[in-house]
């Protein structure tokens, strides 16, 4: 069982993801309706952007709240572990 890991930014990230889900549902409906490709591409771009922004917010929050505290001795993690964690999460930027 994993430890619960919540931050103040998580509700905002959930809102962003729900917005992306709404856009995606709209794209699916538009496809079924036979809407023009330009309209579909525009909506898919909105989905992509919303997910990208949610991911960026999550990563920035992790760096600010987890890695910064760890780097300043707040978590008991070694500098090597903090750097390894930063490298791992930065792959997703």
CATH of the domain at 14: 1.20.58.1000
Q: CB–CB of 46/23 below 8 Å?
A: yes
Q: CB–CB of 92/55 below 8 Å?
A: yes
Predicted TM-score of the model (pTM): 0.74
Domain count, the chain: 1
Angle, in degrees to the nearest 10, between helices 37-62 and 10-33:
170
CA distance 28 to 84: 39
**Domain limits for position 16:** 10-90
User: What is the per-residue pLDDT across 32-83, written as a single tens digit (0 to 9) for each?
Assistant: 999 999 999 999 999 999 999 999 998 888 888 777 666 666 666 677 887 8
Q: CB–CB of 50/16 below 8 Å?
A: yes
CA distance 30 to 8: 35
């Amino acid at each position: 069982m994993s430890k619960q890991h919540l931050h103040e930014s998580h509700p905002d990230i959930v809102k962003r993801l729900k917005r992306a889900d709404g856009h995606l549902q709209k794209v699916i409906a538009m496809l079924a309706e036979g809407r023009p490709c330009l309209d579909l591409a525009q909506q898919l771009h909105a989905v992509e952007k919303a997910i990208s922004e949610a991911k960026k917010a999550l990563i920035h929050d992790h760096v600010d709240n987890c890695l910064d505290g760890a780097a300043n001795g707040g978590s008991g993690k070694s500098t090597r572990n903090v750097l390894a964690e930063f490298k791992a999460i930065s792959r997703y930027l």
